[in-house]
């Protein structure tokens, strides 16, 4: 009986996801928001299901969703555009991350009475922007390829920084020992070595694709290998998300990478994914994305009204800081529509929820406060981003953003041009 209910529920979610996607095309209300709200109703509101009901399957599912979404995103990135966007993405990500953590420490010390290290833990969790939330939303918004690439790279950077920095702060809290140089070195090594692993894995897989395609139902082999790359990176202590994104980037642009054309042994060996394979990944991403957002809503936990209000204040403050950072960092030639989207695209996701749970498992005294505020920030940030993108798409904030970015191109000019294929 329970299995039948679960099957019906999953089927209903998929149908609703298609419906919400269609509604987005007409109303410009992002399909992320209703899916998360469905999860909130199923979980913390009516208590029909909880994250514990999924056991270890929930954690495995979220990891697979992250892997496939990042890989598919890498496939769609333009290697030439990447070179132009990588430095702005790093500046935007690092400055946003640093300001979010710093201001969270100040707010949490006054509002929540947390210490500096506890405030840093909460700040690192709050600064971990979620790629599985950002990437599907960007796919439906009319931003340029440059802005899309910048935001994808930035959110991946912020998530990895959030994970590494949160775990480092937890160790500092438990050991009372601060080694900033070691922490920074570990972060850089995690990024660089993960990228190298992703490049090597992409070249190897591209070289054997001709053979793999002879196997029956071989279309499932690529996603299986992607998961292996992610797992290998994590086991080696590198960044799994970075390795996955780079793997997809190289595999999607393997014919355009000039350095490979100079290697005679690789010129005729490497092959790219076919249109059928890319279409399969797009369908798989839609399926996983739909279930992922519902699971995010189910994972919410709220017990204190004061902490919920504190989370709302922290979310609003973070959005304000993001607006200021966008005004400072983004190039002057960027269209106002793209700047408006950039200024709000900081939603948190399940990575923040997992980190909040890990803090509880670490036995930190302030863990209950950190966890509940983090869950509130996740929910409110997703709601805020969905609401703001809706208002921007409708053109109802044109005057506001024209005032904030007075020297930029007209908001409506970018809205006319749809996303490039």
pTM of the entire predicted model:
0.81
**What tokens were used for 92?**
């935007």
Give the chain's domain count: 1
For residue 232, give the CATH number of its domain.
Answer: 1.20.1530.20
Name the residue range of residue 331's domain.
2-416
Map tokens 């863990």 to a residue. Answer: 367
DSSP secondary-structure letter at 219?
G
Residue 78 lies in a domain: yes
pLDDT digits over 100-119, tens only?
Answer: 999 999 989 988 999 998 99
Structural domain includes residue 421: no
Task: Give dist(CA 162, CA 121) in Å, integer.
Answer: 9
- 95 inside domain: yes
Q: Is 230 exposed, middle or buried (0-12, 13-18, 19+ CB in 10 A)?
A: buried
Position 266 in a domain: yes
- How far apart CA 236 and CA 233 sit, in angstroms, is 5
The secondary structure of 279-306 as a DSSP string is: HHHHHHHHHHHHHHHHHHHHT-----HH
* pLDDT digits (tens), the chain, 421 positions: 567 877 888 899 999 988 888 887 777 677 888 988 999 898 888 888 888 787 777 778 878 888 888 898 888 888 878 888 889 999 999 999 999 999 999 989 988 999 998 999 999 999 999 898 898 889 889 899 999 999 999 998 898 888 878 877 887 777 655 566 766 777 777 788 999 999 999 988 988 888 888 887 788 899 999 999 999 998 998 888 889 989 998 888 877 765 555 555 555 555 677 888 888 888 898 898 888 889 888 888 788 889 999 999 999 999 999 999 999 988 877 889 999 999 999 999 877 887 887 787 777 888 899 989 998 999 999 999 999 999 999 899 999 998 888 865 444 444 444 444 3
């Amino acid at each position: 009986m329970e299995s039948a209910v679960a099957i019906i529920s999953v089927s209903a979610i998929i149908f609703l996801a298609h419906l919400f996607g269609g509604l987005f095309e007409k109303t410009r209300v992002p399909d992320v928001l209703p899916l998360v709200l469905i999860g909130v109703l199923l979980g913390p509101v009516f208590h029909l299901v909880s994250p514990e009901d999924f056991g270890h399957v929930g954690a495995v599912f979220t990891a697979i969703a992250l892997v496939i979404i990042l890989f598919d995103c890498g496939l769609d990135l333009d290697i030439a555009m990447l070179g132009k966007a990588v430095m702005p993405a790093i500046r935007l990500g690092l400055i946003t991350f640093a300001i979010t953590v710093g201001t969270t420490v100040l707010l949490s010390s006054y509002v929540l009475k947390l210490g500096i290290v506890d405030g840093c833990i909460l700040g690192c969790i709050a600064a971990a922007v979620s790629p599985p939330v950002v990437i599907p939303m960007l796919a439906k918004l009319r931003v340029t390829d440059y802005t899309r690439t910048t935001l994808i790279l930035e959110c991946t950077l912020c998530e990895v920084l959030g994970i590494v920095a949160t775990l480092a702060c937890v160790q500092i809290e438990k050991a009372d020992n601060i080694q900033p140089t070691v922490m920074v070195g570990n972060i850089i090594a995690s990024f660089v070595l993960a990228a190298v692993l992703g490049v090597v894995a992409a070249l190897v897989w591209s070289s054997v694709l001709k053979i793999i395609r002879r196997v029956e139902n071989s279309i499932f082999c690529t996603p299986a290998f992607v998961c292996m790359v992610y797992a290998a990176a994590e086991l080696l202590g590198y960044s799994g998300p970075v390795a996955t994104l780079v793997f997809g980037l190289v595999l999607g642009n393997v014919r355009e990478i000039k350095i490979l054309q100079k290697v005679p042994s690789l010129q005729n060996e490497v092959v790219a994914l076919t249109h059928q394979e890319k279409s399969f990944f797009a369908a798989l991403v839609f399926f996983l994305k739909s279930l992922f957002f519902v699971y995010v809503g189910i994972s919410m936990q709220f017990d204190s009204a004061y902490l919920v209000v504190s989370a709302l204040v922290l979310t609003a403050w973070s959005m304000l800081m993001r607006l200021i950072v966008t005004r400072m960092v983004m190039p002057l030639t960027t269209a106002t529509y793209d700047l408006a989207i950039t200024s709000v695209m900081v939603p948190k996701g399940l990575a923040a929820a997992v980190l909040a749970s890990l803090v509880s498992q670490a036995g930190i005294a302030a863990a209950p406060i950190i966890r509940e505020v983090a869950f509130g920030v996740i929910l409110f940030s997703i709601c805020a981003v969905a609401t703001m993108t809706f208002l921007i798409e409708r053109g109802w904030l044109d005057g506001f953003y024209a005032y904030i970015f007075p020297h930029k191109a007209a908001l409506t000019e970018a809205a006319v041009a749809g996303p490039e294929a």
